[in-house]
Structure 1
Amino acid sequence: MAASAANAPAAPPRHFRGLLSRVVSAAILAPLCLAAIWFGFPWVDLMAAIAAPIMLGEWIRLTPGRPVARGLAILYGLAAIVALLWLRHQPDLGRETVLWIVACVWATDIGAYFVGSLAGGARLAPAISPGKTWSGLVGGICLSAVASAACGLAFDQGDTVTLALAGAGVAIVAQAGDLLESMAKRRAGLKDSGHVIPGHGGLLDRIDGLIAALVVVGLARLIAGGAWPWA
């Protein structure tokens, strides 16, 4: 018995046990989302029409008994949908802008997950999301900056340094959006926002950072005008 136990394969680290489900869900959903963004109308509009009621329903689920919080959550979700469609349908670099946002948010999630898991360290917001660390935040910021600069090179647009800084900013916004949803779940006493992704939680659990990034980038482009962040 002792020999068998000694020869048994070691269990994967706790931080990586959910990696397989993350990879599977991303492998299924990511190509569909990217295709909708790439081809634009009507596919991105159809994607938004499908996602909107699911997302808003999950926000309602996360804000029981607090009408002000519920109203703000609904407005926040609707603002993200409007920003997605408005940015994508811009005649000047609309597709590139939305793909840039998605790339930065995904890079943030990947960088935060792996750097935080490997480096550990001080907790970022232990009362809200105990698993997040400052090292993970730094990893997410760095990888998002690299992804942002890479998008500029791929699209032959923008200044590399400026885009790297913008990517770092998007990473901070995305992490704030993640913490906002985590705080709502904690206050509602729920582990997941929903069950739309089998075995992997709700839609908000996957796009909480993207929602925040869409809203902030949409506002920035509306205020700055032109083709921000490319100009």
Structure 2
Amino acid sequence: MSRELRLRIVSGIVLAIVVLAATWYGGVAFRALSALIALLIYSEWSTITRLPSQDFRGNALGWLAIASIAANILFGSEDYAIPLLGGFTITAMLFAGLRKSGTWWLPGGVFYAGLSGISLAAIRADDAVGLVAMLFVFAVVWATDILAYFVGRALKGPKLAPRISPGKTWSGAIGGTVSGVAAGTAVAFAHFPGTGLWIVFVAFLLSVSSQIGDLFESFIKRRFGVKDSGKIIPGHGGVMDRVDGLVFACFAAFLLAVWHSMLNNGILTSVGAFLLGLGL
């Protein structure tokens, strides 16, 4: 086993322990983790897209937006997170559009990083249902990621998106999706046996979303000629490299819950309960 592989395995285990511990404790611990992820994602995003050199003042506004959202995640209520995100994103868009040196990567970074923290915190929330819902999302995303890699290497076949990520294949994508649905369904059924086919649909949606998130980050890195989003995680690269699929799955879960609430009473009471099909 090479030194690099050992480093990758050890840092991966440590990272998993930290994330799962914060998930188990919930409350301030998980909200702090969500806020930190939002800040780190924006830091890496702005570095990759060269925002400081392209639009220094705009990037400062972006940092103000993300810092406000992170503070709201940690100390505020999820009820205020959506208008904060929307307001700061619109402000960033206007600022970027009015300045000749403005770039649309600025509002994109605010939206991507901000929604990452908000959706993670909203899914976990502070109750037992939120814990199961978060573990369900982890199971889907991690099983999808791991099995897509091994199935793709074993079966090979046609490329999924050769211009974006040459290593990914359709066999890996399908294998990862099947594995993600199976793992997520098993976690949900172990705690709530009556969830029915709804959980299969949600697991499928999250698995596909996580793979889209992986491709999206690959597109950004290829667009700017970057190998890794950062160097903060030994052997793995940056935070975006590790959470690209997870945050897209959380986006899908959170936005689906918001859309469902808008069609009904307009009040989003529990993202976790919605994901697990409780009370639908």
Distance 1:116 1:21, change over 3 A: farther
User: Match of 1:26?
Assistant: 12
User: Match of 2:275?
Assistant: 229
Distance 1:22 1:124, change over 3 A: farther
User: Match of 1:220?
Assistant: 256
User: Match of 1:133?
Assistant: 169
Relative to the length of structure 1, the TM-score reads 0.86
Counterpart CA distance in 1 for 2:119 and 2:193 is: 21
Indicate conservation of the 8 Å contact 2:8/2:235, yes or no.
Answer: no
AA of the residue aligned to 1:228: F
Give the SS at the match of 2:275. coil
AA of the residue aligned to 2:27: F
Distance 1:54 1:39, change over 3 A: same
Could you tell me which runs of 5 or more consecutive residues in structure 1 were left unpaired when the two chains were aligned. 1-11
User: Match of 2:45?
Assistant: 59
| Mapped pair 1:39 → 2:25 | yes
Counterpart CA distance in 2 for 1:208 and 1:108 is: 13
Counterpart CA distance in 1 for 2:140 and 2:23 is: 15
Q: Return 98-107 or 160-169, whichever deviates more.
A: 160-169
Q: Compute the displacement of 1:20 (Å).
A: 5.0
Indicate conservation of the 8 Å contact 1:77/1:211, yes or no.
Answer: no
AA of the residue aligned to 1:197: I
User: Match of 2:180?
Assistant: 144
Distance 1:33 1:159, change over 3 A: same
User: Match of 1:87?
Assistant: 123
Coordinate RMSD, CA, aligned: 2.2
Indicate conservation of the 8 Å contact 2:27/2:126, yes or no.
Answer: no
Indicate conservation of the 8 Å contact 1:197/1:203, yes or no.
Answer: yes
Indicate conservation of the 8 Å contact 1:60/1:74, yes or no.
Answer: no
Distance 1:158 1:32, change over 3 A: farther
Q: Return 104-113 or 92-101, whichever deviates more.
A: 92-101
How many residues in Structure 1 have an aligned counterpart in Structure 2?
A: 217
User: Match of 2:241?
Assistant: 205
- After TM superposition, the structure 1 = structure 2 runs for residues 156-175 of structure 1, keeping only pairs within 5 Å, are 156-175=192-211
Indicate conservation of the 8 Å contact 1:103/1:148, yes or no.
Answer: yes
Counterpart CA distance in 1 for 2:181 and 2:4 is: 26
Counterpart CA distance in 2 for 1:178 and 1:51 is: 16
AA of the residue aligned to 2:275: P
Distance 1:161 1:19, change over 3 A: farther
Indicate conservation of the 8 Å contact 1:111/1:143, yes or no.
Answer: yes
Counterpart CA distance in 2 for 1:48 and 1:150 is: 25
Indicate conservation of the 8 Å contact 1:62/1:193, yes or no.
Answer: yes
Normalized per residue, the structure richer in helix is 2
Distance 1:228 1:157, change over 3 A: farther
Could you tell me which runs of 5 or more consecutive residues in structure 2 were left unpaired when the two chains were aligned. 55-101, 262-269
Q: Deviations over 1:108-161 (max 9, x none)?
A: 101101101111111100100001100110011000110111012221254343
Q: Deviations over 1:155-184 (max 9, x none)?
A: 125434332232122111000000000000
Q: Compute the displacement of 1:82 (Å).
A: 0.6
